[in-house]
Amino acid sequence: MKQRKSEAVTDLREEYPKFTPAMKSTHKILVPDMLPVHFGIIVDFLRKEGWDVEVLHNDSRAVIDEGLKHVHNDTCFPALCVTGQFIDALKSGKYDPEHTAVLITQSGGGCRASNYIPLIRKALKAEFPHVPVVSLNFAGLEKDSGFPVNAKLLMKLAFAIFYGDTLMSLYNQCKPYETEEGASDRARQDCLRTVNAAFDAGKHRKYKTIVRSMLERFAKVGRSGEAKVKVGIVGEIYVKYSPLGNSHLEEFLLSEGCEPVVPALMDFILYCAVNNVNDAKFYNKKSFATLLFHVVYKYLHHVQKKIAALTQKYGFEPLHDFEHLRKCADRVIHQGVKMGEGWLIPAEMAALAETGTENIVCAQPFGCLPNHIAGKGTIRTLKKMYARANIVAVDYDPSATKVNQENRIKLMLATARENLAARQDKKE
C-alpha cells in the first residue's frame, strides 16, 4: 500500500463516563428488558454477589418516544427500545443519575448492532452525562467500561441461560393446555425458586438435578390432550424475545389459543462461538480465542444434549440440539452468513418445520440488514423444502401499528388452523 503518509491517527472521540469495577458499591445498574425469565435468574444471583442490578419493565409509549427522540431515525428498532427504556427510567426520578449505570450486551460482529453502545452513550450525553454504559461481552470489547467477567461468572451465566431456556420452553408447552388456570405460572414460580436456591448454594452446576426437578414440577401440571396450533418464533435476537420489542407476541399467541415455540437463547451463544471457529476454518483466522471458543462450545453443547435427553424422557419436546441446527442450516444457507443472527434463523426455521412446528413468525426490526438475506431471503427455499411451512415475516417498528402486525399474524394463524383441521380429519 502506498502513500500512507504517517501512521498518525486523528482521535475524534468524545469523552464519555467510564465504568469501573469500583462502582459495584456505589452504582445501581439498569438492565433492559429482554428475556424476563433468564434475566430474572441472572439478576437474582448478581444481587446476592453484591451488584445492585435492576431489570427495567417500563413499557409505556413514552419509552418509544424517548427512543425516537434520542436515536437516529433509521437505526434499528431494538436500539431505539433499549435507549428509550433507559432514558425513560432515568427520567422517572426513581434513580440517582450520579449513581446509576446502564448495562447492555454486545456480541461484536458485522451487524450494526455492535454499535449500540456508542449510540446509547450519545443518547445519554445531553441529559445524563455522568451515567456510564457498561458492556457485557465476551470478545474483549470496550475494555474501559466492561463488566468484569471471569470464568466463574461465565459459568454462572451459562447455566442461568440453560435454566431460563428450559423454563421458557416448559412453560410454553404447558400453558396453552393447562386444565387448571394458573397452574403453569405456579410451576414456573416454584422452579424459579429452586434455581435461585441452587445458585445461592453454589450448586448451579448440578444441572441434571435441577433440570430434573423442573421437569418433575411441570409434569405435575394437568394438561388437556387437545391439538393446538404451534407457532415458532424466530428472528432478530431482541424482537424475538423482548415483549417490549415484539408487542408481547408470546402473550398474543397464547391468547389466540396457540402454543408458542421459542428456540433457546443458548443457541445464539453457541452460534456466536461456532462463528469464531468457522472463521478459523474458512479464512485461516486462527487465534488463541479460537481454541477457547472451541472448548467452550464443546462443553456447552455437551450440557445441552444432556438436558435435551432428560427433557425427552419426561415426555416434553426438547430444545434443539445445536449440532443438528448446524446441519439444518447447511441445507438452506452457508454457515458463513454470520452477521446478526445469520444462518441461525433459517436453521431454526428448518428445525421447527421438521419437528412439526410449521407455523413460524420470523420477527425482525424494520429494515434489518442481515434479515433481508437470512430471514426473508430464505423463506422461498424453506417453503420448497417443507411444503406446509407457513411462515410470516413481521417487521417491528416504532410506528407500525399493532393492528397491522396482528392482522398479518392472524392470516398466518388462519392458514395454520386450516392445516391443523385437515390433518385431524385425515387422522379420523
Partner 1 sequence: MAKRLGIDVGSTTVKVCVLGEDLQIEYTSYERHMARVKECVAAQLAVVAEKFGGGDFCVSITGSAGLGLAERSGLPFVQEVQAAFTAIRRYYPDADAAVELGGEDAKIIFITGGTEQRMNGSCAGGTGAFIDQMATLLNVSVPEMDALSLRAERTYPIASRCGVFAKSDIQPLLNQGARKEDIAASIFQAVVDQTISGLAQGRRIKGKVLFLGGPLYFLQGLRKAFCTTLGLDGEHAVFPDSAPCFMSIGAALHAGGEKPMPLAEALRRLQNAKGSDDIVTGSPLFESREEYDAFVARHKASDLAFEDIRTYRGDAYLGIDSGSTTTKLALITPGCKLLYRHYQSNNGQPLDIVLECLREIYRLAEGRVRIAGAAVTGYGEDLMKAALKADFGIVETVAHFKAALYFNPKVDFIIDIGGQDIKCFKIKNGVIDSIMLNEACSSGCGSFIQTFAKAMGMEIDEFSRLGLFAEHPVELGSRCTVFMNSSVKQAQKEGASVEDISAGLSASIVKNAIYKVIRAKTPDELGENILVQGGTFLNDAVLRSFELETGKQVTRPGIAGLMGAFGAALYAKENVRGESTVITEEELQDFTYTSKSRVCKGCTSRCNVNVIGFSDGRKFISGNKCEKGAGLKPHGDELDLYAYKYERLLRSVPQSLPAGRIRGRVGLPLALGFYEQLPLWAGFFEALGFEVVLSEKSSRGLYFRGQHTVASDTVCYPAKLAHGHIESLLDRGVDFIFFPCESYNIDEHGADNHYNCPVVAYYPELLKANNERLGDDNFVMPYIDVNDVRSASRALARSLKRFKVSRRACARALRAGFARLEEYRADVEEKAGEILYRAGREGKRAVVLAGRPYHIDPEINHGIGKLLGSLGVAVLSEDGVFRRGEPVRVNVINQWTYHARLYRAAEYVARTPGLELVQLVSFGCGIDAITTDEVRSILEKSGKLYTQIKIDEINNLGVVKIRLRSMLAAVEEQQRRAADGEAGRGAEQEVRS
Closest distance to partner 1 from the beta carbon of 118 (Å): 4
Residue number, 90 or 333, with CB nearest to partner 1: 333
Which among 160, 151, 222, 224 has a CA at the least distance from the CA of 186? 222
CA geometry: angle 347, 349, 351, nearest 5 deg: 70
Neighbour order of strands in the sheet with 100-105? 52-55, 28-31, 100-105, 133-136
Residue number, 337 or 347, with CB nearest to partner 1: 337
Closest distance to partner 1 from the beta carbon of 207 (Å): 34
Residue number, 112 or 301, with CB nearest to partner 1: 112
Q: Is 136 helix (H, G, I), strand (E, B) or coil?
A: strand
Closest distance to partner 1 from the beta carbon of 121 (Å): 7
- Which residues neighbour 119 within 8 Å (Cβ) at sequence distance 6 or greater? 71, 72, 75, 79, 83
Residue number, 103 or 413, with CB nearest to partner 1: 413
Closest distance to partner 1 from the beta carbon of 71 (Å): 9
Which among 142, 141, 121 has a CA at the least distance from the CA of 71? 121
Closest distance to partner 1 from the beta carbon of 426 (Å): 17
Residue number, 114 or 194, with CB nearest to partner 1: 114
Backbone angles phi and psi of 280, in degrees to 5: -65, -40
Closest distance to partner 1 from the beta carbon of 296 (Å): 22
Backbone angles phi and psi of 126, in degrees to 5: -65, -45
Q: Hey, how many other C-beta atoms are within 10 angstroms of the C-beta on 189?
A: 12
| DSSP symbols for 144-192 | TSBPP--HHHHHHHHHHHHHHHHHHHHHHHHGGGBSSTTHHHHHHHHHH
Residue number, 298 or 372, with CB nearest to partner 1: 372
Residue number, 196 or 405, with CB nearest to partner 1: 405
CA geometry: angle 56, 57, 63, nearest 5 deg: 90
Could you tell me the sign of the dihedral formed by the alpha carbons of 228, 234, 238, 244, in that order?
negative
The grid coordinates of residue 15 equal: 469523552
Residue 261 Cα to chain centre, angstroms: 14
Residue 168 Cα to chain centre, angstroms: 12
Residue number, 130 or 410, with CB nearest to partner 1: 410
Residue number, 313 or 410, with CB nearest to partner 1: 410
- Which residues neighbour 47 within 8 Å (Cβ) at sequence distance 6 or greater? 53
**CA distance linking residue 94 with residue 91, whole number of Å:** 8
Closest distance to partner 1 from the beta carbon of 126 (Å): 4
Closest distance to partner 1 from the beta carbon of 343 (Å): 9
Residue number, 124 or 191, with CB nearest to partner 1: 124
**CA distance linking residue 375 with residue 381, whole number of Å:** 11
Q: Report the residue count for the chain.
A: 428
CA-only gyration radius of the chain, Å: 22
Closest distance to partner 1 from the beta carbon of 161 (Å): 25
Closest distance to partner 1 from the beta carbon of 147 (Å): 18
